[in-house]
Structure 1
């Protein structure tokens, strides 16, 4: 939505997180430590008979720390940093948790025993700073190790390496909590020509653009006003507004009112976003888990599919080039009739061709015109005629081969485009695993080690919707899902939908012996268009038929079917319409 601002974990969010974590974890015991991602930890902590899972992420795009209810699949072999933490921190007691000034840094103090059973104090520092985020283990102010090692070539200010002294990130801004009202105002006045919205961000720790804009909105000043244009009363109100935000948190996720897509979150009441759909939360961790569950998952999937996407794109490019060459070869082969004509005319005029020439101008017996025939002076007229007959026959044989290869290449292009379409719709590790299994099976990527712990219950499932008439609509998200949905899940009298002549999802309306109305047919067709290569187009053609008329040819690749007895409808896919069908399903 226009005007939205991405909300990072700013100082206010970290402040409220610090309060929540301290209440739940101080005095708690660290039981287990996992590292499901290269930049992410999960700590299993027990305190007063309550078990907590604490997620700590140093991801460049979504750094954070909060409690989680669901955890990710862990790698078969733990990374080195995870093994170090297990050795140093397992069994340790969390003695203290603090926020460093009002910045985005949280420090856990942990009391544990070393190999000699001596009690030692260690610190786990979580720096939540975008691409500079890190998780650092410290003993006696010396870095033991970190989840990201930073050398002098990356940062000239400080190195984050084992054995180095730990230095806090540069703090060039002030903690507003420690300033008197006069010092606060004086700090702002150091930037007289700066716009007030940016001056607040540049002067004080932990203030995001969203918070700064909300401060201006609450006290009624224009965000573009210069600091020098504001009176003392307005400057006083800025600090009072920040103190009020800290004292009265309000946890909310903001959604687009039309598409219901999650856009933002905040730990304070953002009054200028009241036109958004607002979902309130009692605690900060559930809000962050819900928000990042989608955002972080999409980012992780995007990272993991980048290499596969490149492989498929390269193969597609080669097939496009091959198809263009085949089209050119076909055109040349279709011109081969002239070679037979040359040969026929040469044989008819052998008596008149006595001397070797590079070109013979003879009468075309078809229309009486003159025709020029190139000749090889090293051959006799009869040999030249024979050469043209051979070229004609070779071209005819090539035409059959070219047509066969053209069909196979078009099928390969369609299949590869279907894989790209599946990747674009992939939003879970299970779906990504199925795509990789399929590509490995067909030799498009190298075989990889599969996790034997995965059961059939953990495989991904088609996405479920409900039509306005109450019919269940199932949408396959990849070729394996499509195969299972069409050939096993669907009944013969269910309705089957697919975008016409483009890669896309198989969509099935479960009829349960009833006849769907036009609304359900249009809604299912809209879903078929939305989950296809034609998502961004208008007036998309979608075919539909009964499942009993859909057949999977023998030896066909995953997701490939043929169908008959179909009808066609034309629809325009819309985000808000898809969201409505999701909402009906969830109620």
Structure 2
């Protein structure tokens, strides 16, 4: 049995209630562990004392309070995301914990003075954490999402996925209708249509005493009633926080009377954690815990250690085997969500179109309502007065007045009820324009549906690729097993083989938008962001907006070059004295500054660069001097990097994102799947960009991938001004 790596919707329903007991805890510091996509909130509660809250959305996806002894060691350098959270949330109190609908999304709301911050943990798919302000706008997020169905990006309003059906609050009629509408069997319908997932779908069948595989059309009313009663018992336990958590094991010796060793440790591997005991696990050893948080803490703290010790594969496979099952399950879940979104878009578009047609079918009545509002507004009547006028007409039984549900003066709208549907109309427009707006909205929603269909096709293609890799791996593994060779040979090769992206026939495109892409940029080999201007306007903009305390400013000792900033923090983040920029990052920033300056354009291979602190850069000239656009006055001592060699490499990354990157070779080469180094030479920017494009295209088996992510235009953005040539050309 593969161990559990993600919380279910049922788990989150139980967890939200338990975490509410920590409301009132104040935030001290926030840490981010980028290699695990793990956020740690160090808090203190008046009654409960030190509280360490973990939010993890990487390979493992969970939220729980952990024992202080179980927290990982803090990163030496706080990433920008953590710095932003510290600046915003220090001293804030946890005021609310809630699950979004019945989805695997948990919202944690904090307040400080009059400022509200909501942490949205998306524990599905690839996982994400979004930080929202009090209006629901995204301040920042771990991953930017730009789909036609939803957007999660800094500066945009956060958009939840389409709401999933919530089975915990439905009455029997709604439950029966949902079940009867399926064309599958009982357990699959519970798992997918009612969103319980496979394990809890089976659990409900077992508790109800019905066979999993009964087709819906053959299910009796008594069987459906028994399933609904089992569902209600589960829902009531979750609502009342009547929990009895368990951590379940695969024991080394399932028949042993005592599963513990001489030290009292359980001999086996943790494989699941649940808020209540499960009938499905009656034949499996389960360790009880006093709270679900304690069970989650034990499970996610120690199950990963068991994986590292080689105990994570209960089926007996070795650690070198890629976890194809988890990849396949992830893609299947994404397809299920995308299919649900498509169905929602179809229903929304149909509803908008039906409403538009209803306006024409009831033309006279709708025209009467709109004309009444328009005439009243022309007479300067208030919206309240108009609403009261409609209310009086409804009391008199006037059909047009009876159809009016409400008016909104701030938006200039009137909501009416036609054929049982509520439709909001622009009061200043006529029937035709309102109907046309509804038709346009239906068309817009259908466009989102097309985007979702493209996404689901891509996901299905990725799923097929994973299944093909699994089949190839198993075929190769079977061949090795049957060769009769010495089992000790190759025993050192315990780690997963890295993907050879150059040979992959189909590479999925994964990209996010970042604010710094408007400028020249790269990340140093130590992970620090370096940004530089492309022209005088950029130089002015960068220094004005992004040169902050703790940053270092670099410039070539030559006329014409980028104002280069080595960032110690991100935009709007406070500087932390713990941040120390390594010399290696400074040397790379100096090489960047000289490479994109006139030194390269003049065909030279080295030049001097100076470095100063952020407080030494000013737009105020000395007396009697003049500063041209893009120029700055530098005051105080400078640190010089003499005879710094020019050097630029352009590379393509495939993990975790697919994109072109460029900059000093020492920073670019380790991050890229393949790189090309350039030096001053005879080819103009557009010519050398095309040469690099053709070279990259020949290196990848999937040449369409290069066309998508590394066009000549995108490559040119990373090339210095002036002529260049490939080093090996």
* TM superposition score normalised by structure 2: 0.39
- Structure (1 or 2) with the larger CA radius of gyration: 1
